[in-house]
Structure 1
Amino acid sequence: MTALDLSRAEWRTSTRSVGNGNCVEVATVDGHVAVRDSKDRHGPVLAFPRAAWHAFVGGLDAVPTC
């Protein structure tokens, strides 16, 4: 697998972040969704195929909250 070129990624704070400093940033790059910790912008990035990301986010709505 080749690494995604993130140099042109336009990062934004996820709409799922609650604004308490524990935020996730996302960017769409070459048909993938890249995810990183907003507190460590030069740290590791996870990348998912777009369909897998949408399935994950869609499943969050089904998870009960405490």
Structure 2
Amino acid sequence: MPAYKFVRSSYSGGNAGQECVEVARNIPRAVAVRDSKRLDGPVLTVTPAAWGAFAADLRRRRP
């Protein structure tokens, strides 16, 4: 597995028990996403373009 450098979502609030995701963008041509409570669990990888479209859609839906 590549050496992903995950960072926690800014929406997590910093509390260890909350549901949140971690994202790694340090590998060229890939964005990796994982559950912050399952560090040894599965990692989803998508293209930067797919991640950008996903993030843009979330921003549009924000109240």
Please say whether Structure 1 and Structure 2 have the same fold, judged by a TM-score greater than 0.5.
Answer: yes
Task: Give the C-alpha shift of residue 30 in structure 1.
Answer: 2.5
Question: Residues 7-60 of structure 1, C-alpha deviation per residue, up to 9 Å, x if partnerless?
Answer: x21110022434451110010223211000000000011111001100100011
Counterpart position of 1:40: 38
Question: 1 or 2 for the larger relative contact order (CA 8 Å, sep ≥6)?
Answer: 2
Counterpart position of 1:11: 6
Kindly report structure 1 stretches of 4+ aligned residues shifted beyond 6 Å: none
1:27 aligns with 2:24: yes
Distance in 1 between residues matched to 2:47 and 2:23, nearest whole Å: 13
Structure number with higher helix proportion: 2
CA gap of 1:15–1:64, structure 2 versus 1, over 3 A, is closer
The range that moved more, 42-51 or 13-22, is 13-22
Q: TM-score, normalised by structure 1?
A: 0.76
May I ask how many residue pairs the two structures share in their alignment?
60
Identity %: 43
Task: Give the C-alpha shift of residue 64 in structure 1.
Answer: 5.0
